[in-house]
Structure 1
Amino acid sequence: MTAEALAILQAAGAEEIEHPGGTLLAHLKRVSALLAAWGARPALVSAGLCHAFYGTDGFPVALLDLGRRAELVEAIGVEAEALVYFYASCDRTSSYRGLTDDAGAFVDRFTGTHTHPSLAARRDFAELTAANELDIAAISPEARSRHGADLLGLFTRWRPLLSEPAWAHCRTVLGRSDR
């Protein structure tokens, strides 16, 4: 975790924003730590720490306006910030179902642009999504009860994109041990 990224998170009030398991800042730190535990490269670990900076399709609170992307680039680097933008930009309804397909469309919710991301980009996205959702499911029995079956279905479909550690954690948190 970079000191600059943590300073921006604190300045943006991430310590005061409620989130399952405490605060948004606590969640972001757990997601980053989970990615590190799975052996993710540093840029993805940094993206995990900062994945909510621009809000997401499922969490609309933005800590930074998109016009301030350069500040995040300065704190975590170009590659990690691009991962944060890619994650935040996802129109989930339009993009999730085709994520494992090379020809599947990824829709940017900010611009409406349809793209066909590389396999590496789709793997990073799936890994970050798994870390985010599994942290919430692990920390909140209510969220796990309400969304666990759907998450297991999603991550089972995305299995080709997930690392072995991410898939093992998915099975542990969501209760499936047969694969």
Structure 2
Amino acid sequence: MTTAVLEWLRARGAESIPHAGGSLYEHLGRVSARLAGHGAAPASCLAALTHAAYGTDGFPVVLLDVSERATLRGLIGVEAEEMVYLYGGCDRGRTWRALPATKLIWSRFTGHSASPTPAELRAFVDLSIVNELDVYERSAEIAAKAGDYFRSVFPTWEPLASPSVMADARRVLSL
């Protein structure tokens, strides 16, 4: 399945889309591999590999319109696609700081909130942290601009995150 996903990303032009540390394609691969290294479930790793398919609040490039969710579902499965939709649609300004208290993820696609299960919330938090760690490590500009924000938000997510992901965040962000 991973080969088909990589081919799909190439066909969508991910190799030629600039991103911190090279191309979007490289970033997606690193995030997926890093999550796998933390013991994430296969569906989470597939979601990580395609997490920017619908764009994100921090990266507006779209590989696939949200009206075509069935296409991505057919490629990576329902569970992984639902994570991509949740992650890509997250309204970070409304969600991130409040997340430990509310456990709600607000959608920039619909304007509504989702109340994920504890396992879904952990997968979302882990993907969010690992994604930002990859960007932080590869862009001095982003590290300077967002480092203090990450250092203020991610520790509050510790009860929601996998212990190994939090250890990685502490190491990278000097928490």
**One fold, TM greater than 0.5?**
yes
> Could you tell me which residue of structure 1 aligns to residue 133 of structure 2?
134
> Could you tell me which residue of structure 2 aligns to residue 168 of structure 1?
167
Please, which runs of 5 or more residues in structure 2 have no aligned partner? none
Superposed, which structure 2 residues align to 1:10-49 within 5 Å?
10-49=10-49
CA distance in 2: counterparts of 1:106 and 1:73, whole angstroms:
21
Superposed, which structure 2 residues align to 1:79-94 within 5 Å?
79-94=79-94
CA distance in 1: counterparts of 2:103 and 2:174, whole angstroms:
29
User: Secondary structure of 1:161's partner?
Assistant: coil
Please tell me whether the aligned partners of residues 103 and 121 of structure 2 are also in contact (alpha carbons under 8 angstroms).
Answer: no
| One-letter identity of the residue aligned with 2:152 | G
Aligned pair count reads 175
Calculate the TM-score normalised by the size of structure 2: 0.94
CA distance in 2: counterparts of 1:147 and 1:97, whole angstroms:
14
Residue 141 (structure 1) shift: 2.5
Residue 145 (structure 1) shift: 2.3
> Could you tell me which residue of structure 1 aligns to residue 4 of structure 2?
4
> Could you tell me which residue of structure 1 aligns to residue 95 of structure 2?
95
> Could you tell me which residue of structure 1 aligns to residue 108 of structure 2?
109
Residue 71 (structure 1) shift: 1.5
Q: CA RMSD in A?
A: 1.3
Residue 26 (structure 1) shift: 0.3
| One-letter identity of the residue aligned with 2:40 | A
CA distance in 1: counterparts of 2:92 and 2:19, whole angstroms:
20
User: Secondary structure of 2:97's partner?
Assistant: helix
CA distance in 1: counterparts of 2:74 and 2:143, whole angstroms:
36
Please tell me whether the aligned partners of residues 5 and 75 of structure 2 are also in contact (alpha carbons under 8 angstroms).
Answer: yes
CA distance in 2: counterparts of 1:50 and 1:107, whole angstroms:
20
CA distance in 1: counterparts of 2:149 and 2:20, whole angstroms:
18
| One-letter identity of the residue aligned with 2:119 | A
Residue 104 (structure 1) shift: 4.3
CA distance in 1: counterparts of 2:156 and 2:68, whole angstroms:
35
> Could you tell me which residue of structure 1 aligns to residue 68 of structure 2?
68
CA distance in 2: counterparts of 1:142 and 1:175, whole angstroms:
17
